[in-house]
Amino acid sequence: MVVYPELHLCGATGTPEQRKEQLEAAAEPIDGPRHQHLSRIARNLGVWLLPGTVCERGEDGHLYNTAPVYSPEGERVAAYRKCFPWRPYEPYQPGDRFEVFEVPGIGRIGLAICYDIWFPETVRQLAWLGAEVIINQVATTTCDRAQEQILVQANAIFNQVYMVSANSAAPAGEGQSLIVDPEGRIRARMSGATSGILTDVLNLDEVVRVRTFGTAGLNRMWSQFREDDPVLELPMYEGRIDPRKWREKR
């Protein structure tokens, strides 16, 4: 599986107005010419390809920051739209669903884009949908990459999943891509903002082991509840995030 960072194929620079203009020019429908090229690359190389997020022109005319996934046969098996654009800097319409995809015979992968992981709901929902690995494609150009790396580890620990955080390197980004195991330990990390290739082999049985025996052999969050425990209401959500109610509670 080959993973590239957020906006690897259609980055933009300058003021928010200049960026929006550049992204408008780069935007294509999800099934446009770019899709045909990426499908052919995945098929010719026989790899799972996550080519970095692309600027999608939705059917509604809005821009979306979208992460496509291609199988070794060249089929696009997922196209996740970023749910939490980094406002006010990013001009995208937010997506309206979380997305996972299946690697046959291996496991289930969840998708998150950059700022998504600052909202704990994202990775928890992906884990609830069965994801054992979360791929977080990132284009962090700001000084908060240090905090972001802590969030990568925290999300791995909270949800007992692998986290793969692929960030743009210099000069576009702060780099420091990393891979974290289900107990929050860093398995591999790029040094500084240097460009390069980060590789690893993930054993998804480790997710089963950690969830069965607990983080550090102690904490079994996915086995917390018993059938006779009382129902625990979650008033913050009521089954969904409604932006209007979110603002009312602030």
Can you give the CATH number for the domain in which 106 is found?
Answer: 3.60.110.10
80 and 105 in contact (C-beta within 8 Å)? no
| 250 inside domain | no
How many domains does one find in the chain? 1
| 171 inside domain | yes
| 26 inside domain | yes
| 151 inside domain | yes
Catalytic residue among 6, 56, 148, 174: 6
104 and 119 in contact (C-beta within 8 Å)? no
Angle at 246 between CA 93 and CA 235, to 5 degrees: 130
Domain that holds residue 37: 2-245
Task: For residue range 116-171, list pLDDT tens digits in order.
Answer: 999 999 999 999 999 999 999 999 999 999 999 999 999 999 999 999 999 999 98
Q: Please indicate whether residue 249 is annotated as part of the active site.
A: no
Using a pLDDT cut of 90, give the percent of the chain over it. 83
Q: Please indicate whether residue 21 is annotated as part of the active site.
A: no
For position 232, what pLDDT does the model report?
85
| 22 inside domain | yes
93 burial level (CB within 10 Å; 0-12, 13-18, 19+): middle
98 and 125 in contact (C-beta within 8 Å)? yes
| 208 inside domain | yes
Catalytic residue among 82, 90, 148, 174: 82
Task: For residue range 161-206, list pLDDT tens digits in order.
Answer: 999 999 999 988 999 999 999 999 999 999 999 999 999 999 999 9
Q: Please indicate whether residue 6 is annotated as part of the active site.
A: yes
For position 233, what pLDDT does the model report?
82
